[in-house]
Amino acid sequence: MPTMAVAVDLVILTVRDGALCALIIERLLPPHEGSRALPGGFVLEDEDLEAAAYRELAEETGIEKFPGHLEQLGTYGKPDRDPRGRVVAVAYLLLAPDLPIPKAGSDARHAGWIPVADLAGTLAFDHEAILSDGVERARSKLEYTNLATAFCQSPFTIAQLRQVYEVVWGVELDPRNFHRKVTSTPGFIEPTEERTSHRAGRPAQLFRTGAAESLHPPLLRPGRA
């Protein structure tokens, strides 16, 4: 039976300065030297796939303890997707709050947040398709789960949570209706005793992620009648 290299590639998304951004590295080695790519690397001999994802995350971005959500996205295995030979890539999707990127990882590649909209046509391998699948997965998961909270530092305000939806979906949402929805759906968010104190305006109540893994009924994207 044939054997092949297996890699993990990471689609790491965050909301930053009002834009949906991905964590992108610059490749130092061929192939595609100098161009942009998703973080990733080969799975080791006796390593679980998810463990490989966390290891590459730490090695390439310096993030040791990941505070967000991780799930498997899909596997990409076209025979010619990597010029080095047959490489099957298992992609993982990570949703994170706006993290400061630690110093470049151990293999010295520079990692940084880049707006997804700026990445069209600039990624190596088939990473643009993988990224696109990841973004679409994130968009639809916001409808049926409370994973939008994974983009927020905890605790967060309802306005911050709403901005996550607005940025990821690229739409504007009615603040009143959004507030009603997230507070009336059981398990979406949990209230805390705290409130914000900032320069202007009425203080906002702070919330944490709720226990529900799925929203019933869901919070659907507008304008897809």
- The footprint of its own copies (CB under 8 A) covers 1-6, 42-49, 72, 74-75, 77-79, 86, 88, 90, 144, 214, 216-218, 220, 224-225
- The answer to whether 157 contacts DNA (rule: CB under 7 A) is yes
214 binds, among its own copies, DNA, none (CB under 5 to 8 A by kind): its own copies
What are 115's strand-pairing partners?
Answer: 21
Q: Report which DSSP code applies to 122.
A: -
Alpha carbon separation from 30 to 56, 119, 129 (Å, rounded)? 18, 20, 20
Half-sphere exposure at residue 78, Cβ-oriented, CA atoms within 13 angstroms = 9
Q: Which of 30, 46, 64, 197 binds DNA (CB under 7 A)?
A: 197
> Interaction with DNA in 175-194: which residues (CB under 7 A)?
175-177, 179-181, 183
175 binds, among its own copies, DNA, none (CB under 5 to 8 A by kind): DNA
Count the site residues for DNA by CB under 7 A. 26
Q: Exposed/middle/buried for 222, CB within 10 Å: 0-12, 13-18, 19+?
A: exposed
Alpha carbon separation from 130 to 8, 39, 77, 125 (Å, rounded)? 12, 12, 12, 10
The CA R_g of the chain, rounded to the nearest whole Å, is: 19
The nearest distance, CB 174 to DNA, in angstroms, is 5
Identity of the residue, 48 or 98, whose beta carbon is nearer to its own copies in the bound complex: 48
- Tell me which amino acid residue 21 is: C
Q: Which of 5, 28, 120, 159 binds DNA (CB under 7 A)?
A: 159
- The answer to whether 217 contacts DNA (rule: CB under 7 A) is yes
